[in-house]
Structure 1
Amino acid sequence: MAIEATASVSTIRDEAVTESPFYIPMTGPTARPRQVLKHDDTFVVLDSHGDIGASAGGPDGLFNADTRFLARLELLLDDMQPLLLGSNMRDDNSALTVDLTNPDIYSNGRLVLQKDVLHLVRTIFLWHGTAYQRIGLQNHGDRTAVFDLTLLFDNDFADLFEVRGAQRPRRGAGSSRLLGFNDVALDYRGLDDITRSSTVHLEPRPSRLGVNAATYHLELKPQENTSLFVTVSCNRPNTEPLMPFFKGLLAHRREMRQLTSGATSIETSNNIFNEVVCQSMADLNMLMTETPQGRYPYAGIPWYSTTFGRDGLITALQMLWIDPRVARGVLRRLAHYQATAVDPVNDAAPGKILHEMRGGEMASLREVPFAQYYGSVDSTPLFVMLAGLYVERTGDDATLGDLWESIEAALRWIDGPGDPDHDGFVEYQRATEEGLQNQGWKDSYDAVFHADGTLAEGNIALAEVQGYVFAAKQLAARCARRLGLKHQADKLDDEARRLAARFEEAFWCEELGTYALALDGAKRPCRVRTSNAGQLLFTGIVREDRARLVAADLLGPQFFSGWGIRTVARGEARYNPMSYHDGSIWPHDNALIALGFARYGLKHAVEQLFKGLFDAASYMELRRLPELFCGFQRERRRGPTLYPVACAPQAWASATPFTLLEASLGLEFDARRGEIRLRNPRLPAFLNEVILHDLQLGDSSVDLRVRRHGDDVSLEVLRTRGKIQVSLLLAH
């Protein structure tokens, strides 16, 4: 059994590795395309053949709680790899189906099995910590086919950070053992004294079974078919029975249908956009994880399949109009894990909202600081923002009452530890050298810099974070009024007004026509043109006249590539269209900017941005927007350039089409009045019609149809359930 990590990288002696110990390396090309499946805390990365670890270039494996529970599962026919016919993910992401056939197989120089005689179908799904696989075989030849089918399996129990490239001087001990004629146990005793175990079960009984291989000697008559079943379970107790394959698959699909019921569904006149929307919703449902506090959208596969504060908050905000139940689960979970004490190792302070939590061996041993890590400057104000927006969207005052103590604690952190030099701006500086150097959403080591390219140092105040604080205090004020706390509400409103004035004075750069990226520890503005200014529009902190200048700049050629807005403008010192945060295009960033455009009535700008991202999605595999893609300028008859290690799916990228539609339609919800408003709705040219089914407000719901007539739209109420009012507002 392999004990050492299968992923290794050469030492890179440059500033990126020195400054960023959690950098994700890309060391070579992917030999086969990868597919992913997820169910709750378990996910699997397979190649196009349905194999794990059989081809280079991918983070293959079956993972549970940040540990790889299977590093290899390869299927061979007479010791040869089968030929791929096709690989397809079910539309709802519930299962992967792979069609294979045999190559020409020779024995002693004689052709014993001609190619394309056997048809193999591998069907794979995840359910409650177990990977299920059926291998269906049929002989389409005119004579009996005699062959061996072998499954090779192995594991290293690598921590996810090892798979990402981290090197460990010591590891625990692994072992393999037979549990009978059908089962093999792969065990690992970690340095944290926790035993992790993978159980491989094969049905029917193999002809030969070893600790790393199972072989079936098969004889299939013409047109005869048979099935083999393989399950790999993560830490399954021996007393817990396995659900049969077909029964488990039906239960899994039934659960997925139940979880999606109650959310608004979207139908449009554009079939490609319908595919984009369906893929986005399927991906979001796959990323949702049942937690004790409610459903939570895990950030992305493979690197971020866990609870992330910022990602969960923004994803819930993006989905708020479609399914506010997601926001309730996110808020409750993050309130449960809100910091209550100072802990420099975890960058925690009372009231601070979680950044990331991990369950692997390295986190347990504090080889990485992410067991419960709070090194995020924006999660806390975003938590307050989402709480306020959720209550206004739903009228759920009971949840507000439950959350109010956590909201007040978050506000105390904002005004206290979040502002260490007491200048009225929320800032960050990592508490230890092991933590993240940059703690905004652009958290690469080189993401915050001055005009000459030098990196910002000291306590850093990011522009968009001040906007989040501004919006958080406004929304918290409205929440306080709902609770009858008028004095506290007035105080919060006054603090928000004073912050806006202070912000304009400190961050506006007249010579750039936009806002500084940040202030460094010496209060020097980082005079760099970045997309952060666009997120300021989303928060509403920007003056009306300057909002139009910012929007025009963001849609100019230095920012807008034709596919979307770059994170950093072309021509800036560290601009690189292939970088992670310094010139690439992030769909969720563009989505929040689109909401900012809509807030200031810039619907033509929303339309331009919407079209660019829709066009990009139309080129993507499965119509799936990835975490990010490269910021190269759009060229005729060519699609966008992918970023090699982007997560796909990733939650806030998957939610982006819904946010763009929200911005386009100008959706507003007034739960107290039972009213849904469409403010200055405008559909892009590729959408002639949009139908929203079961758009909910409280206990009522409505079906709407919006039609485009040039630059104008018409609104039709198709059906209502309960008491609900729909209004069309054509003035900003």
Structure 2
Amino acid sequence: MDDAYSVQVTSADSQESDGLERLLALKDADTFLVADGWGDLKGGADGLFDHDTRLLSRWVLTAGGARPSRLSSGVSQDNVFFTCDSTNRPLPPMGGRSAPAGVLHIERRRFVRDRRMFERVRMTNHGIEDVLLPLAFDFAADFADIFQVRGTLRVQRGVSDPPTQDGRRVTFRYTGLDGLVRTSCLAFSEPPARLSGTRAEFMFSLPMGRRIDLFVECGSEACDAPDETRFRLHALAARVAMRTRRRRGASLRGPRSPRFNDWLDQSRADVALLTTDLPTGPYPYAGVPWFSTPFGRDGIITAWQMLWLDPSLAKGVLTYLAVRQATEVSAFQDSAPGKIMHETRRGEMSALGEVPFGLYYGGVDTTCLFVALAGAYARRTGDFDLIRKLWPNLIAAVGWMKNYGDIRGDGLISYQRGADTGLSNQGWKDSEDSIFHTDGHFPKGPVALLEVQGYAYAAWQAMADLAETMGDERQTEWAQQAERVRALVEDRYWMEDEGFYAIALDGDGAQCRSIGSNAGHLLFTGLPSADRARRVTQRLLSAEFRSGWGVRTLATGQVRFNPMSYHNGSVWPHDTAMAAAGMARYGERRAVSLLLGEIYAAAAHFHLRLPELFCGFERLPGEPPIAYPVACLPQAWAAGSVFLMLQAALGVSIDAVRGVVEIDDPVLPAGIDRLNVTNLKVGDGTVDISFQQMGLHTVVVPRRREGPVSVRTLA
């Protein structure tokens, strides 16, 4: 089952069913590879990257001077292996005879491990005669920084030395403007008949019924000669490491819905793929290809989505971010004491300061989310040893909220970038055109986003809840601050005529009255009154927002609405999940089930792997959702969305301090009559829980139970 991979196309000349050639990704730690369906790299958005530098920019296989005819390709269900099956086109005459098309099976199988690519090219002759196969690889290493690959122009670059070769290896060398020497070594198990700095040519004799394997490796360091033993040992290590990450925490299964189970498995595998085990613990990188690095906001939200099943992610995220908490004011980095990191990079351009993202703090919401996640983690796990360790960081974080985040002194968290190189918008909708007034003009700063005030409310509440355990006398002060934020939001953001909240306040305190999905995040924090939450929910579920594939980021009819935009009318699975979880907080479980069904339907059209976002066009009978062409795939908080939505639908709340799993009015997704949660750890106890549809009701049945844990079903 782990070796199964999805079929993408049936011939080399056909396009993907959605009209776009998809790039397929592999990742291990800080190394990732994206290639087309043949496994080729052509110097576009693809390549083998290590620590934000492209080590292999071109890698194209030809057989008999032509690209093979592709039969199928894809990534294994556990995200470890890429495999492309192809066959030959007619081969040129060799010794007076030529082999017809379709007699050779050419399989490319690869994985990424220990900062290098491992590839096996297996050639099998299924014809009735011996065949001479000319096989060639064209290659290059441009050492481009990830921001160059994304389109950022550089006036100057470092120096690339001419490639060197020694019979079966080619070594590339680049000295960057930062003074670092970066190398890339490409090695073959067999010496090519001809080898240059850009091409390797082989001539393989294939007797009928026989096969030959060629092994290739590429990484930042020189290696021993590739061979079958190295390939097998590293492949086993890669698979074991991935299996370990996938099996962390509790598991979910729907026994009578194999397709639904496949979605759960794919989503869990995608979270595992993107999770890197750092010295501080596991950290889910944001997404491949553009965001394969620790992001503060993305890591926190992904960890929150997975918290009820796997708290280890939250622990790793909190610990990593605490170590990188800002201690000084820097306009270039958008930092101030106590602020939590937005993004970190390790490429040449970041090291030189050509971009500010080496260690960048330009996220206005991350600090609030950091504190709120710490509170949620403490309740979920009872791990107050970690909270004590992080307490100085949490105090510093709320210090930033009070002293630096509240730029205008009005009790609201706002932002205004420190330097022109930074992000102009610093919430999760961080594209330049995502925040605007109803006539389309952009607000002057400082801007106070709606959802950020919800995160701040949750942060102050978390500190008040933790204060008693930590012996801090400021419990009452923090609780009062949370209520002040609630009152400010209800007073200044609510638009009675719209029955909705304004997306932001501008620098003059005027409402940006655009109608956006940001209000769904406010529901997630529990800030709105019950009546206003009901009205917001009704509108989020209306045709203005619901495309039929989830919730749009911007309501139809708004001045900048564009279903093909990044943030102004597209559908982001994590955004829909946050809104659904917020609705559930106010008892709207049926709405969660409805939205979960729509996201599931969208996932089915994307080979069960939800992209970062897709277009917000209306769902039409028999038509698939329309892809956003440069969305990250996989992407961490898109993969984690199903787990947050399932928690919301099932009404699960875990309090490890009391050793209780509370379940409030559970609802199963449409078409799913049973769902099993196994190995759910609560404090020192473990429990399995079965949810089963019985008529109009969902019945909760605790199964295996070990240790001091109880399951309580609320009326």
Structure 2 vs 1, CA of residues 108 and 329 (structure 1 numbering), >3 Å: closer, same or farther?
A: closer
Does the 8 Å CA contact 2:145/2:348 hold for their aligned counterparts?
Answer: yes
CA distance in 2, matches of 1:390, 1:672: 11
Of 215, 230, 241, 1:255 maps to 241
Does the 8 Å CA contact 2:105/2:126 hold for their aligned counterparts?
Answer: yes
In the TM superposition, residue 60 of structure 1 has moved relative to its aligned partner by 1.1
Deviations 1:137-187 (A, max 9, x none): 111111110121111111111111111111111111112433422211011
In the TM superposition, residue 240 of structure 1 has moved relative to its aligned partner by 13
1:556 paired with 2:521, answer no
| CA root-mean-square deviation | 1.8
Aligned residue pair count = 697
Q: What TM-score comes out, normalization by structure 1 length?
A: 0.93
Does the 8 Å CA contact 1:33/1:47 hold for their aligned counterparts?
Answer: yes
CA distance in 2, matches of 1:434, 1:236: 37
In the TM superposition, residue 239 of structure 1 has moved relative to its aligned partner by 12
CA distance in 1, matches of 2:63, 2:89: 9
1:452 paired with 2:439, answer yes
- Provide the residue aligned with 2:416 in structure 1: 429
Of 289, 293, 306, 2:276 maps to 289
Deviations 1:56-85 (A, max 9, x none): xx5110001111100011111122111111
CA distance in 2, matches of 1:377, 1:311: 13
- Provide the residue aligned with 1:9 in structure 2: none
In the TM superposition, residue 416 of structure 1 has moved relative to its aligned partner by 0.8
1:33 paired with 2:18, answer no
CA distance in 2, matches of 1:683, 1:616: 18
Structure 2 vs 1, CA of residues 514 and 71 (structure 1 numbering), >3 Å: closer, same or farther?
A: same
Structure 2 vs 1, CA of residues 243 and 501 (structure 1 numbering), >3 Å: closer, same or farther?
A: farther
In the TM superposition, residue 192 of structure 1 has moved relative to its aligned partner by 0.9
Does the 8 Å CA contact 1:105/1:111 hold for their aligned counterparts?
Answer: no
CA distance in 2, matches of 1:164, 1:530: 28
- Provide the residue aligned with 1:356 in structure 2: 343
Deviations 1:322-371 (A, max 9, x none): 10000000000000000001111101100000001111111111111100
CA distance in 2, matches of 1:371, 1:712: 52
Does the 8 Å CA contact 2:371/2:463 hold for their aligned counterparts?
Answer: yes
Does the 8 Å CA contact 1:262/1:694 hold for their aligned counterparts?
Answer: no
Of 683, 700, 708, 1:715 maps to 700
1:624 paired with 2:598, answer no
Does the 8 Å CA contact 2:189/2:227 hold for their aligned counterparts?
Answer: no
Does the 8 Å CA contact 1:68/1:158 hold for their aligned counterparts?
Answer: yes
Gaps in structure 2 of 5+ consecutive residues: 1-17
1:544 paired with 2:530, answer yes
In the TM superposition, residue 718 of structure 1 has moved relative to its aligned partner by 1.8
Deviations 1:354-400 (A, max 9, x none): 00111111111111110000000000000001111001100001000
- The one-letter amino acid paired with 2:602 is A
Of 67, 74, 92, 2:60 maps to 74
In the TM superposition, residue 641 of structure 1 has moved relative to its aligned partner by 1.0
CA distance in 2, matches of 1:668, 1:606: 16
- Provide the residue aligned with 2:8 in structure 1: none
Deviations 1:562-589 (A, max 9, x none): 1111111000111111100011111001
- Provide the residue aligned with 1:19 in structure 2: none
- Provide the residue aligned with 1:49 in structure 2: 38
Of 701, 704, 710, 2:686 maps to 701
Of 644, 658, 661, 1:676 maps to 661
Does the 8 Å CA contact 2:266/2:609 hold for their aligned counterparts?
Answer: yes
Deviations 1:480-500 (A, max 9, x none): 111122x21111001111111
1:575 paired with 2:561, answer yes
- The one-letter amino acid paired with 1:60 is D
Moved more, 537-546 or 75-84: 75-84
CA distance in 2, matches of 1:174, 1:318: 44
Q: What TM-score comes out, normalization by structure 2 length?
A: 0.95
Does the 8 Å CA contact 1:682/1:711 hold for their aligned counterparts?
Answer: no
CA distance in 1, matches of 2:633, 2:22: 12
DSSP-derived class of the 1:641 partner: coil
CA distance in 2, matches of 1:440, 1:592: 15
- Provide the residue aligned with 1:647 in structure 2: 632
CA distance in 2, matches of 1:653, 1:113: 47
In the TM superposition, residue 523 of structure 1 has moved relative to its aligned partner by 0.3
Of 121, 125, 129, 1:135 maps to 121
- Provide the residue aligned with 2:265 in structure 1: 278
Of 456, 465, 475, 2:452 maps to 465
CA distance in 2, matches of 1:389, 1:236: 46
Note the 1:171-250 alignment, pairs <5 A.
Answer: 171-235=157-221, 244-250=230-236
DSSP-derived class of the 1:417 partner: helix
In the TM superposition, residue 205 of structure 1 has moved relative to its aligned partner by 2.1
DSSP-derived class of the 2:92 partner: strand
Of 151, 157, 171, 1:165 maps to 151
- Provide the residue aligned with 2:360 in structure 1: 373
1:603 paired with 2:598, answer no
CA distance in 2, matches of 1:531, 1:711: 31
Structure 2 vs 1, CA of residues 124 and 238 (structure 1 numbering), >3 Å: closer, same or farther?
A: closer
- The one-letter amino acid paired with 1:466 is Q
Structure 2 vs 1, CA of residues 678 and 204 (structure 1 numbering), >3 Å: closer, same or farther?
A: same
Does the 8 Å CA contact 1:574/1:582 hold for their aligned counterparts?
Answer: yes
CA distance in 2, matches of 1:149, 1:241: 18
DSSP-derived class of the 1:414 partner: helix
CA distance in 2, matches of 1:584, 1:266: 29
Does the 8 Å CA contact 2:653/2:661 hold for their aligned counterparts?
Answer: yes
Of 666, 669, 686, 2:651 maps to 666
- Provide the residue aligned with 2:551 in structure 1: 565
In the TM superposition, residue 33 of structure 1 has moved relative to its aligned partner by 2.9
- Provide the residue aligned with 1:13 in structure 2: none
DSSP-derived class of the 2:332 partner: helix
Note the 1:296-375 alignment, pairs <5 A.
Answer: 296-375=283-362
- The one-letter amino acid paired with 1:591 is A
Gaps in structure 1 of 5+ consecutive residues: 1-28
- The one-letter amino acid paired with 1:391 is A
DSSP-derived class of the 1:113 partner: coil
- The one-letter amino acid paired with 1:642 is A
